[in-house]
Structure 1
Amino acid sequence: MAYSSPYMLVFIFLACFVFAFSDNLVAPGDSEKVKLNLYYESLCPYCQKFITEDLVKVIDSDLLTITDLKLVPFGNAEVLDNNTITCQHGEEKCKLNAVQACAISTWPDTLLHLSFITCVEETTKDWKSCVPDPTSLKAINDCYSGDLSKKLILEYANQTLSLEPKHEYVPWVTLNGEPLYENYGDFVPLVCKAYKGKEALPEICDSSSLSRKKSKLQVSFVEDSKNY
């Protein structure tokens, strides 16, 4: 994918917008926001579908004004006794998990790292084409090549493996700590309903797009990864 891709243009716009108008992006206090967590792994087709078709609504709307979105790139991977990480379908999946962990660390702003991750999950072949500038590319490369990427992944592993109830599959989505199970694809109306803050609801909460035909649940189970 070249730098003229739609996600790259969105990414560049968001970068300019965030740094120029960051004070206007946070309306309610963080404590009022609905906590939406996505536990996922790169190259999982069901995670890719959810990120690029459903979670992308966060980028395209004002939902983040009431949502504290957290992405946790570990999924069904395993931690061995020597703290080595193994992934269901090989090293490339572990690599992209680490790259995305580094991107989240490099760009703490949700819109920025979500735009990057969406681009990566749509293209997969060349994650570097989703990075808008050489400085950011160097930061991610340095993170991935050094000790920081392993530290980040082990932190995400701990967060994933300590879930209660335990995650059964990916994508695994929680809302205020509670798993959405088969309703994860309909997270937008659930976020809107869960918000109890004082701010007006985002426009997307009134959108007719909220009512849609539910798709068949497609997931990658933890047990399948252990038997791989």
Structure 2
Amino acid sequence: MKVTMRVLISAILILSAAQIRGEAVNLTLYYESLCPDSIRFIRFQLYPTWLLLTDDNLSVDFVPYGKATFQGEAVNLTLYYESLCPDSIRFIRFQLYPTWLLLTDDNLSVDFVPYGKATQSKTSNGTWVFECQHGENECQGNKEQACALSLHQNNASIQVQFISCVMSAWSPPEAGSQCAETLGIDYTPIENCAEGTQGDELLAALGDRTHNFTPQITFVPTVAINDVYSQKDQDDAMSDLTSVICRYITGTKPDACND
């Protein structure tokens, strides 16, 4: 009761000064909805005081946030790569996947573009023909990954884990079935897509994206952060992708960014 009276007396003294100007006293309250001290203050101090003084004399500005942290949008990384490129394999295995595990898809969104330095053309009968830097097996591996990405476009976690699994295998173009089994997904739709025209169309679309990228891709893997290419980001990402992504995280950065 003594504490309450001291608060009321203080409020009245402030009010007296404000009333000379004919204004209500404004109180801004920063608090948390489950904080015991916040609950106690509002229940036994703020509300009784407001009832006594009324809103003619006391205006309250509530800010329910407290010591919360802010989660910004995930950083988007677009990766242009090839299924049999040693540099692509090394980057996904030792940079991309470990970084994604550390930062999670709350902070890192990956857009895979498995095409690289391939070329494509369409015959007179409408059939797509692809030529890949590391041969026919790479074209097939690119196509299989394009199909998996399309079929699981609404599950970012499966996308990252499937691509990381096949790219960590001894022969990525032949690892799809085993990786699908490991992740508990059905490989048959992926296989049917990769062996049919759907896979051709998906790979051709990725080819268009790759050929339209600025600047022209001369090295794979190539990374773009939030749809923007930076040579510094590219160079740094090859050895420390986590630091590159952490540069772009808004709001409260995860602990991995502070290590």
The TM-score, its normalising length taken from structure 2, stands at 0.63
* Offset at residue 169 of structure 1 (A): 0.8
What residue in structure 2 maps to residue 5 of structure 1?
A: none
SS at match of 1:68: strand
Partner residue in 1 for 2:205: 155
Q: Does 1:129 align with 2:187?
A: no
**Alignment match of 1:184 (pick from 214, 237, 244):** 237
**Structure 1 equivalent of residue 101 of structure 2:** 60
> Which residue identity lines up with residue 43 of structure 1 in the other structure?
L
SS of aligned partner of 1:177: coil
d(CA) in 2 for partners of 1:114 and 1:68?
9
Amino acid in the other structure paired with 1:89: H
Q: Which runs of 4+ in 1 moved over 4 A?
A: none
Find the residue that maps to 1:163 and give its secondary structure. Answer: coil
Structure 1-normalised TM-score? Answer: 0.71
CA shift, 1:124, in A, is: 3.9
- Do the aligned residues in 2 keep the contact of 1:106 with 1:136 (CA within 8 Å)? no
Cα deviation for residue 176 of structure 1 reads 1.9
Aligned twin of 2:194: 144
Q: Deviations over 1:3-22 (max 9, x none)?
A: xxxxxxxxxxxxxxxxxxxx
Question: What is the rounded CA distance, in whole Å, between the counterparts of 1:34 and 1:135 in structure 2?
Answer: 27
Return the letter of the residue paired with 2:180.
V
| Contact 1:34–1:176 (Cα < 8 Å) also in 2 | yes
Distance 2:82 2:118 in 1: 8
Gaps of at least 5 residues in structure 2 are: 1-69
Mapped contact 1:42–1:96 kept (Cα < 8 A):
yes
Aligned identity (percent) is 28
> Structure 1: which 5+ runs fail to align?
1-26, 208-228
Query: Which residue in 1 is equivalent to 2:255?
Result: 203
Write the letter of the residue equivalent to 1:79: Q
2:99, 2:241 within 8 Å by CA — same for their partners in 1?
no
Alignment map for 1:38-187 (pairs within 5 Å): 38-82=79-123, 83-108=128-153, 109-125=155-171, 126-127=174-175, 128-132=177-181, 136-179=186-229, 180-185=233-238, 186-187=240-241
Report the CA distance shift for 1:64/1:135 in structure 2 as closer, same or farther (over 3 A): closer
Q: Deviations over 1:150-189 (max 9, x none)?
A: 1111111111110111112101011122323322222221
**Rounded Cα–Cα distance in structure 1 between residues aligned with 2:92 and 2:246:** 19
- Return the letter of the residue paired with 1:182: D
Aligned residues: 177
Structure with more relative contact order (C-alpha pairs < 8 Å, separation 6 or more): 1
For the residues of structure 2 that align with 1:149 and 1:41, how far apart are their CA atoms?
Answer: 16
- When the two chains are superposed, the root-mean-square deviation of aligned CA atoms in Å is 2.1
Cα distance change, pair 117–79 in 1 and its aligned pair in 2 (3 A): same
Q: Which has the larger radius of gyration?
A: 2
Change (3 A) 1:50 1:134: closer
Tell me if 1:193 matches 2:253: no
CA distances 1:3-47 after superposition (whole Å, capped 9, x unpaired):
xxxxxxxxxxxxxxxxxxxxxxxx957xx3322111000011110
Mapped partners of 2:161, 2:216: distance in 1: 28
Matches within 5 A, 1:19-30: none
Letter of the aligned partner of 2:136 in structure 1?
A: E
Give the partner amino acid of 2:159: H
Counterpart of 1:43 in 2: which secondary structure?
coil
For the Cα contact (< 8 Å) 2:78–2:223, is it kept in 1?
Answer: yes
Distance in 1 (CA, whole Å) between partners of 2:249 and 2:103 is: 14
